[in-house]
Amino acid sequence: MEFAKRMDQFGEGVFSRLAEMRKERVAAGKQVIDLSIGAPNIPPAKRIMEAMAKAVMEPSNYVYAISDTKAMLEAVAGWYKRRYNVLLEENTEICSLIGSQDGLAHIALSILDPGDVMLVPDPCYPIFADGPKLAGAELYYMPQKKENNYVIQLQDIPEEVAKKAKLMLVSYPNNPTAAMAPVEFYKELIQFAKKYDIIVIHDNAYSELVFDGRKWGSFLELDGAKEVGVEFNSLSKTYGLAGARIGYCVGNARVVGMLKTLKSNIDYGMFLPIQAAAIEAITGDQNIVEETRQAYERRRDVLCDGLIEAGWQMDKPPGTMFVWAPIPAKYASSEEFVKDLLDKTGVLVTPGSAFGPSGEGYVRMALVQSEEDMQKAVDNVKVAGIF
C-alpha cells in the first residue's frame, strides 16, 4: 500500500500520546489529574440541552441540513450585534462550522494552493499550522515572545515574506499563551493586510473568558476589518458545547462565500438538532456565560496562586482557559518535564513543543478540572518538591 506524501508531515497527535500516558497510569491504579487537553467539564445550561433533546425527537430533523437554517443565521447575526455591535449580512457573511477545528482546516484549503505562504503564530494551536500543511502551503512562523507580552510584532516580518504571503492567522486571547493584544495591534494588522494584500483569519474562541474585570471585543469592530478578513468564534467553551461541535466563520463575504462553496462539496451541513441547541445558547438567558467565566477565573486563582507559592514562577493568565508556564531549567525538554511531573505528582499537562518551535521550554495547563482537583494538583506538586 502507498499513501499520500502529505501524511509524512504528521505523526500521532500530541493529545493522543498524552491520552495513552494517562491510560497507562490509570491502569496501574494511580491517580491522574488531567490538565492536558482543553476539554471543558462545565456542561451546557439545562435549557440548551432540552432544546437539543426536543429537536432530536422530531423525525423531520433527520434530513440533510445542507445549509444553515434562517433561524441559525439570524441568531448568529443577533449575537454579534448585541455582543460586539457588529452588523453581519445573514446570507453572505456567516457560515457555520462543525467546530472551529474543522473550519480552520477547510478555510486553508479554500484559500491556499501548494507553495503559497501563510503566516502563523508561534507558538500556536496545532490546527493553525496543520490546516495550511494539508493545503501544501509554506509556513512562516510569527514569533510570540514573552518580552513582547506574546503579541506578534508585525514590523519584524521581512518584507519579502509579507509580499509573498497570501493568508495569516492571529488569535487573541491566545491559545496557548493566554495573551491579549491591544487594540493598536489590530489597527496595525488591518493596515498591514491591506498593504500586502493578505487575507486575515482572527480566531476569537475565548472572547468571553477574560478575567479580573477585563473586556474583550471582536476584530470586526474595527474599521476596515471586513475588507481584509474573517473571524472564527465557537460555542465550545462559552456554552459548554465542545462535543456538539459548533462554531462559525463571519466577516468578509468573499472569504465566507468561498468557504461555503468548499463545505457544500464536503459535508451536508450541521445536524438540525445541534443548530437548535446553538440557537438556544446564543439567544436565551446569558447568565451562564458569566457563571462560566467566573468558574474559570476561580480555577485559575487556585492553580496559579498555589503553584507560585510552591516555587513555580509563572504569569497568571488574563484570559482563556489555559496557563502557559516555563519549565524548570534543569529539564532538557518540555516532554521530559511532562513525563517527570506526571510520574511524581499525577498531574498531566501538555508540552509546549506541541505548539510550534517557540513552545519548547514551556507547558500548557488547561483549567478543566474542579477547584478541588486544582488544589489537589497544587498539593501534589508541593509534596513532590520539584521546584
pLDDT tens track for 105-158: 999 999 999 999 999 999 999 899 999 999 999 999 999 999 999 999 999 999
Residues forming CATH 3.40.640.10 domain(s) in the chain: 46-283
pLDDT at position 353:
93
CATH 2.130.10.10 correct for 5-42+287-384: no
pLDDT at position 131:
93
Please, what CATH class does the domain formed by 46-283 belong to?
alpha beta
Residues forming CATH 3.90.1150.10 domain(s) in the chain: 5-42+287-384
* Range of weakest confidence among 17-31, 37-51, 276-290: 17-31
> Residue 70: phi, psi to the nearest 5?
-60, -40
Q: Give the number of other Cβ atoms within 10 Å of residue 256's Cβ.
A: 23
pLDDT (mean) for 333-341: 94
Confidence band (pLDDT; 50, 70, 90) for 10? confident
Provide the mean pLDDT of the chain.
Answer: 95
Sign, CA dihedral 162-166-171-177, equals negative
170, pLDDT greater than 80 = yes
350 DSSP β-pair partners: 364
Pick 15 or 346 by higher pLDDT: 346
pLDDT (mean) for 316-336: 95
pLDDT tens digits along 211-230? 999 999 999 999 999 999 99
Residues near 248 by beta carbon (within 8 Å), at least 6 away in sequence: 76, 94, 95, 96, 97, 103, 232, 233
pLDDT (mean) for 332-340: 94
Q: Give the number of other Cβ atoms within 10 Å of residue 287's Cβ.
A: 9
End-to-end Cα, the chain, rounded Å: 50
38, pLDDT greater than 90 = no
